[in-house]
Chains A and B, each alone.
Chain A
Amino acid sequence: MHEFFRVAWIIVKKDLTVEVRSREILYTTLFFAISCVLVFAVAFVREGAALTEAGAGILWIAIAFAGTLALGRTFERERHTETLRALLLAPADRPAVYFGKLVGIVALLAATELILLPLVALLFQAPLLGRPLLMGLLMAAGTIGFCAVGTLFAAMLVRARSRDVLLPILLYPITIPVIIAGVRGTLALLEQVPNEALARFWIALLVFFDVVFVTLSLWTFEPLMTE
């Protein structure tokens, strides 16, 4: 058990070190997410102001799109530098490798969301920061659910043909329930008087999804990555 977390932590450290030095994926993912939000902000305008409810949906769409790109490019980087083979050859439990990559990608998306959330709140005049703790839990649970499946699929597609377009095709039908729960929870928190009970329900559902998806992914990572 201790070995599992030690290996995962080594991989997280590696990814963070590489990312901190180049900041390539962080900056480009962040700017893509911002552009996405801007396009939608311009599209969903009524009487000169953007719709508040649209902000909830746009936030999660931006996370889904930016997350897909970040996932693809993280593993593309591994493939390009041929470190993926090194990871698979390492005398480490495959599930620990998966968990380490998952934590790294969640950290990357969390950094993106820290900027994205206030931006969406500003552009859509949505009080997204009204209940920061619940909002933070909602975002965390949703991001983990999305990335759990995303990391698995991005890793397994890394050597497939047409991998760039296949990742969204495979990922979105499975993670749409996570997005739905995230959007519904965000809408509950955006009401005039934030509906905390409803938001907590959606958070609980997201945590349930997270447990199911992470468990399934840990089980299937080994057979799917064995070549």
Chain B
Amino acid sequence: MRRMFLPALFVAAAMFAFAPVYVARAPFESTMGLVQKIFYFHFPSAILMLTSAIVSGVGSAWFLARKRPSADRLAFAAAELTVLFGLLTLVTGPLWARKAWGVWWQWDARLTMSLLLWMIFVAYLLLRKYGGPGSETLSAGLAVFGMANVPFIYVSVNVWRTIHPKTTVVPTLPVDMSAPLWFCFAAFALLYMTLLTARMRLEEQRSQLEQLYLEIED
């Protein structure tokens, strides 16, 4: 698996280099025109934010049940990536919304809950940084609550009358739009996997280093 890290990174980089070309070649959407093409980055970022929240929640639940440090590292890395991809989503979304809906932001169900999910994982990172000893367990509890939010965010557009497009849009895209979309999604997913692996490895080495420092002190 470790041997695949650099090749995966290069493939992801190559895909991202080609993505703008592919996206530019995609057809224009009828009502929104050029600005709709933010979708090709907004959608993968959003899906990966939700996925990362679930990964962090699952890792946290596993850590609470079994106390394995690797589970905690997974949860921490995934929480960081939730914040990162959440930030991408929350920036690309309003940039698109300003042109498409006329407003930067609306307090509808999908947007509000996504912002709250993002804030929950920012709180996770703050707790890890400033909570002192024992914060691994506490933040695991927080991540479980964060994960519980995710299904609601996904179905919110179908249940409530919101300004955000429904989940029926993506499965019914014409092929010359869905091809670039899934290409960009694959690029983002590959990037996500490499970042997750790198961050977990970094965290493992950091804790090993800390352990060594503690041994020296004694």
- Interface residues, chain A, CB within 8 Å of chain B? 149, 152-153, 156-157, 159-162, 166, 169-170, 172-174, 176-177, 180, 212, 216, 220, 223-224, 227
B135 in contact with A160 (CB, 8 Å):
yes
In the assembled complex, B170 has its CB within 8 A of some CB on chain A: no
CB distance from A163 to the nearest CB of B (A): 8
Q: Are B131 and A166 in contact (CB under 8 A)?
A: yes
| Bound CA span A176–B120, Å | 11
Q: Closest CB-CB distance, B149 to chain A, in whole Å?
A: 8
Complex-state Cα separation, A194 to B163, whole angstroms: 27
Measured CB to CB, the nearest residue on chain B to A160 is: B131
In the assembled complex, B130 has its CB within 8 A of some CB on chain A: yes
Set of chain B residues within 8 Å of A166, measured between Cβ atoms: 126-127, 130-131
Residues of A within 8 A of B113 (CB): 177
Instruction: Spell out B's residues near A (CB within 8 Å).
Output: 64-65, 112-113, 116-117, 119-120, 123, 126-127, 130-132, 134-135, 137-138, 140-142, 144-146, 148
Check A220–B112 contact: CB distance below 8 A.
Answer: no
Contact at B119–A152, with CB atoms within 8 Å? Answer: no
- Chain B residues positioned under 8 Å from A177 (CB to CB): 113, 116
Which residues from chain B contact A169 at a C-beta distance below 8 Å?
Answer: 123, 126-127
Chain B residues with CB below 8 A from A156, complex form: 137-138, 141
By the criterion CB–CB under 8 Å, are B123 and A161 in contact?
no
A selection of 11 A-B contacts at a CB cut-off of 8 Å is A156-B138, A160-B138, A161-B132, A166-B126, A166-B131, A172-B119, A173-B123, A174-B120, A176-B116, A216-B144, A224-B138
Contact yes or no, A216 B123, CB < 8 A: no
Nearest chain A residue, comparing its CB with the CB of B132: A161
Interface residue from B120, B130, B132, B137 paired with A173 (Cβ < 8 Å)? B120
Contact yes or no, B145 A174, CB < 8 A: yes
By Cβ-Cβ distance, the 3 closest A-B pairs, closest first, are: A161-B132, A173-B119, A223-B64
A220 touches B141 (CB 8 A): yes
- The interface residues of chain B lying within 8 Å CB-to-CB of A170 are 123, 127, 142
Whether A224 contacts B116 by the Cβ 8 Å rule is no
Q: Min CB distance, A106 to chain B, in Å? A: 19
Partner of B137, one of A174, A212, A224: A224
Q: B148 touches which one: A157, A161, A212 (CB < 8 A)?
A: A212
CA distance A224 to B64 in the complex (A): 7
Q: Decide yes or no: A160 and B134 within 8 Å by CB, A170-B123, A173-B123 being known contacts.
A: yes
Complex contacts, B65 vs chain A, CB 8 Å: 223
B134 touches A227 (CB 8 A): yes
Contacts of B127 in A (CB 8 A): 160, 166, 169-170
Which residues from chain B contact A173 at a C-beta distance below 8 Å? 116-117, 119-120, 123
Q: Which residues of A contact B142 (CB under 8 A)?
A: 153, 170, 174
Alpha-carbon distance between A153 and B135 when the two chains are bound, in angstroms: 12
Q: Which residue of B lies closest to A149 (CB)?
A: B145
Closest CB in chain B relative to A154 CB, distance in Å:
11
* Interchain CA distance A64-B108 in the complex, whole Å: 22
Report the bound CA distance from A162 to B131 in whole Å: 6
How far apart are the CA atoms of A176 and B107 in the complex, in Å?
13
In the complex, what residues of A have CB within 8 A of residue B144's CB? Answer: 216, 220
Q: Which of B123, B126, B134 contacts A159 (CB 8 A)?
A: B134
Does B138 lie within 8 Å of A152, measured CB to CB?
Answer: no
- Nearest CB in chain A to that of B144: its residue: A220
In the bound assembly, the distance between CA atoms of A174 and B146 in angstroms comes to 8
Residue in A closest to B142 when the chains form the complex, CB atoms:
A170
Contact A220-B64, Cβ < 8 Å, known A156-B141, A173-B116, A180-B112: yes
Per the bound structure, the CA–CA distance linking A149 and B141 in Å amounts to 11
A161 CA / B134 CA spacing, docked (Å): 10
The minimal Cβ–Cβ distance linking A120 to chain B, given in whole angstroms, is 22
Contact B137 A223 (CB under 8 A): yes
Known: A160-B131, A162-B131. A216 touches B148 (CB 8 A): yes
Q: Please name all residues of chain A whose beta carbon is closer than 8 Å to the beta carbon of B137 when the two chains form the complex.
A: 156, 223-224
What is the bound-complex CA distance between A160 and B145, given in angstroms? 19
Measured in the bound complex, the distance between the Cα atoms of B137 and A27 in whole Å is 34
B122 to chain A, nearest CB (A): 8
For the complex, what is the distance from the CA of A160 to the CA of B116, rounded to whole Å? 23
